[in-house]
């Protein structure tokens, strides 16, 4: 039996088609929304880690979507960005009306939101690599997104549901 979300969060596929961002195939344990930007250097630094996390958890029923918020990210630039940063195997959507940003409560790129059971169960940073803007740790000690996904896959509640992301503010959010 497929459980349908109570609401639809409409975004655009790169083809231009409108899709419900919360829609996922049966058997999906969670959807990870990676709010990113073509021009945020911190987002771009995280690309290899996002790919590694996706490769580790996609076979376990976790779906990943790159979310490019705002109207300034056009499909051609997004496709070039995905190619340049080896985002193979990840789906990308444009959140031109910031519907998914508002649903998840995202304010930063890169920031992730994990939805399971129709609700956001984790939102925040990928890990603790960045202590602040321009302050990168030499050793990552906390792997927040991996920990949240490991809990979901194991059928446990996410222990830490919110962390503070460090990165570039999402444009147009205050309008």
For the segment 86-130, what is each residue's pLDDT rounded down to a tens digit?
Answer: 998 899 999 999 999 999 999 999 999 999 988 999 999 999 999
Helices (H) and strands (E) in the chain, counts: 5, 11
CB within 8 Å of 122: residues ≥ 6 apart: 112, 113, 114, 144, 145, 148, 158, 160, 161, 162
pLDDT at 1: 35
Residues 110, 34: contact at Cβ < 8 Å?
yes
Instruction: Kindly report the number of other CB atoms within 10 A of residue 25's CB atom.
Output: 8
> Is 31 in a helix, a strand, or coil?
strand
pLDDT at 6: 52
Q: Which residues of the chain are modeled with pLDDT < 70?
A: 1-6, 173-175
CB within 8 Å of 100: residues ≥ 6 apart: 9, 11, 21, 33, 67, 69, 93, 106
R_g of the chain computed on alpha carbons: 15
The whole-model pTM stands at: 0.92
pLDDT at 97: 93
Strands (E), 59-141: 62-69, 91-95, 108-109, 111-116, 119-124, 130-132, 135-136
- State the pairing for strand pair 168-169/130-132: unpaired
């Amino acid at each position: 039996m497929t459980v349908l979300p109570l609401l639809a969060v409409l975004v655009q596929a790169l083809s231009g088609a409108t899709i419900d961002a919360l829609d996922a195939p049966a058997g999906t344990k969670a959807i990870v929304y990676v709010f990113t930007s073509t021009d945020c250097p911190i987002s771009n630094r995280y690309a290899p880690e996002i790919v590694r996390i996706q490769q580790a958890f996609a076979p376990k029923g976790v779906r990943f979507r790159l979310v490019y918020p705002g109207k300034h990210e056009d499909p051609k630039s997004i496709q070039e960005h995905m190619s340049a940063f080896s985002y193979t195997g990840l789906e990308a959507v444009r959140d031109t009306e910031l519907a998914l940003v508002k649903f998840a409560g995202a304010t930063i790129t890169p920031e992730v939101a994990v939805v399971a059971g129709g609700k956001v169960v984790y939102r925040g940073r990928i890990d603790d690599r960045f202590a602040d803007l321009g302050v990168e740790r030499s050793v990552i000690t906390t792997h927040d997104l991996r920990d949240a996904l490991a809990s979901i896959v194991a059928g446990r509640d996410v222990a830490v549901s919110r962390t503070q992301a460090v990165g570039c503010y999402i444009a147009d959010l205050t309008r």
